[in-house]
């Protein structure tokens, strides 16, 4: 696990310098790197394409940007940090006094040493982001302002990776690829999704897992507009996956979808510090998957949630803010949740009249000497009692208070002994 955490951190390090946005070459470069870890199906959707109530915007690319004083010194420099430019800034080449320039400068007065992350995707304008300390130190006078960018017809780019399962029904795992140099808010989520996909590919899961790497909001909307969702049974949006805070799960709009119950069970059983919060139509792309017309069973897993930490959308969300250990912990919860989703079944008791004799089938004897023998025996009794074709193994685990793994192991033993028969998930 330590090695996996370090590998995920290494991916975040590689992605961190790239300037991403909702479109453009930064997204493609990001997917090229992820594609070294996973085979990806990359989709290019042309500008102007109608996607639900939205339209794919023009593509934005940037080569350089700066504000320079009369000596030519760059007091704000895109080359030093891609956060310095307002995302989707239109091209500009001008000289203007500081008094005029101020209307285009964005700072965080309450966090004077940090550079904010700001965008203007759908209202053409331009601007720079800088620390309040830098702004306060600028003398009055003339400044050269240059943004070497293009905003032109092109494409929105997103990618998918599919891990085939035993059935065609799908679990979608989504992360956003549209933020520039922000290590926690989005790169840690990309890394966890990538390594989860690699782990799932080492076995044949029950469900088919579809991993979606797309720009936030417009990317998820584009995917929903272009794909049939009838096969989607469960889903999880990953973001803010590497910070030091405790894990937070946000329920789906339904509130009681299987994914909600699974994450609640996994987090509780693991005894990790965590929070489970109710759905709100604000946050990441769970709000698109949970819009009322789709109402998919999709929740969101983060550590500290959206806008819940002072480093959020600032230059402090850097490589020092995320850790291999935090990403490994997030990955472990995802792994455990997938194991529960894949293993959850309903069973039918084939000897439902009275309790079947377990001893003569060797089921009691097989537990001898085990430290968990009592729980294993109790799990068998619970599985037998609730195997009526209506209750799933997750139902058994929730009602009995036993770990899902113990319940699943009991079901395997009883199935092998011919006492129960597997049914539907």
Annotated binding-site residue? 234: no
Question: What residues contact residue 302 under an 8 Å CB cut-off, 6+ apart?
Answer: 238, 239, 240, 241, 247, 248, 250
Beta strand extents in 28-119 (DSSP E only): 41-46, 50-51, 54-55, 59-68, 74-77, 92-97, 105-106
- Most distant CA pair in the chain: distance in Å? 93
Beta strand extents in 230-338 (DSSP E only): 232-238, 247-250, 274-277, 298-302
Annotated binding-site residue? 25: no
Could you give the C-alpha distances from 414 to 234, 373, 417, in angstroms and in order? 28, 15, 5
**What tokens were used for 9?**
């951190």
What is d(CA 255, CA 232) in angstroms, rounded to the nearest whole number?
17
Annotated binding-site residue? 295: no
**What tokens were used for 396?**
């058994």
Q: Residue 127: what are its φ and ψ, rounded to 5°?
A: 180, 170
Q: For tokens 């130190």, what's the residue?
A: 137
What is d(CA 404, CA 295) in angstroms, rounded to the nearest whole number?
27
374 in the Ramachandran plot: left (φ > 0), alpha (ψ -120 to 50) or beta? alpha
What is d(CA 298, CA 300) in angstroms, rounded to the nearest whole number?
7
Question: What residues contact residue 97 under an 8 Å CB cut-off, 6+ apart?
Answer: 140, 141, 142, 143
Q: Which residues are annotated as a binding site for Zn(2+)?
A: 179, 185, 313
Numbered residues of the known binding site: 179, 185, 313
């Amino acid at each position: 696990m330590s090695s996996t955490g370090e590998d995920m951190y290494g991916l975040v390090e590689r992605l961190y310098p790239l300037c991403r946005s909702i479109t453009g070459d930064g997204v493609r470069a990001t997917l090229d790197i992820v594609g070294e870890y996973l085979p990806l199906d990359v989709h290019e959707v042309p500008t102007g394409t109608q996607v639900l109530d939205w339209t794919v915007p023009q593509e934005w690319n940037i080569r350089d940007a700066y504000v320079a004083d009369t000596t030519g010194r760059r007091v704000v420099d895109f080359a030093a940090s891609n956060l310095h430019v307002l995302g989707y800034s239109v091209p500009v080449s001008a000289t203007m006094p500081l008094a005029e320039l101020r209307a285009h400068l964005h700072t965080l007065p309450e966090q004077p040493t940090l550079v904010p992350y700001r965008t203007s995707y759908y209202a053409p304008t331009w601007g720079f982001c800088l620390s309040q300390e830098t702004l306060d130190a600028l003398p009055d006078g003339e400044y050269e302002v240059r943004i070497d960018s293009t905003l032109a017809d092109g494409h929105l780019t997103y990618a998918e990776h599919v891990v085939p399962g035993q059935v065609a029904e799908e679990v979608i795992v989504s992360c956003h690829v549209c933020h520039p140099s922000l290590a926690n808010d989005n790169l840690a989520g990309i890394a966890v999704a990538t390594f989860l996909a690699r782990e799932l590919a080492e076995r044949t899961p029950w469900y088919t897992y579809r991993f979606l790497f797309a720009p936030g909001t417009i990317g998820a909307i584009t995917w929903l507009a272009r794909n049939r969702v009838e096969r989607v049974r469960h889903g999880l949006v990953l973001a803010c996956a590497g910070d030091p805070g405790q894990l937070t799960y946000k329920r789906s709009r339904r509130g009681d979808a299987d994914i909600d119950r699974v994450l609640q069970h996994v987090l509780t059983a693991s005894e990790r510090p965590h929070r489970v919060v109710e759905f709100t139509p604000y946050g990441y792309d769970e709000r698109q998957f949970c819009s009322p017309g789709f109402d998919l069973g999709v929740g969101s897993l983060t550590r500290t949630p959206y806008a819940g930490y002072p480093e959020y959308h600032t230059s402090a969300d850097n490589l020092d803010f995320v850790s291999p250990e935090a990403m490994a912990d997030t990955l472990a919860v995802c792994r455990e949740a997938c194991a529960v989703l894949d293993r959850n079944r309903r069973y039918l008791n084939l000897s439902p009249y009275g309790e079947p004799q377990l001893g003569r089938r060797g089921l009691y004897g097989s537990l001898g000497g085990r430290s968990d023998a009592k729980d294993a025996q109790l799990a068998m009794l619970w599985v037998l009692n609730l195997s009526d074709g209506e209750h799933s193994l997750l139902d058994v685990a929730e009602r009995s208070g036993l770990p899902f793994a113990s319940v699943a192991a009991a079901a395997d033993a009883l199935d092998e002994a011919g006492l129960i028969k597997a049914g539907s998930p």
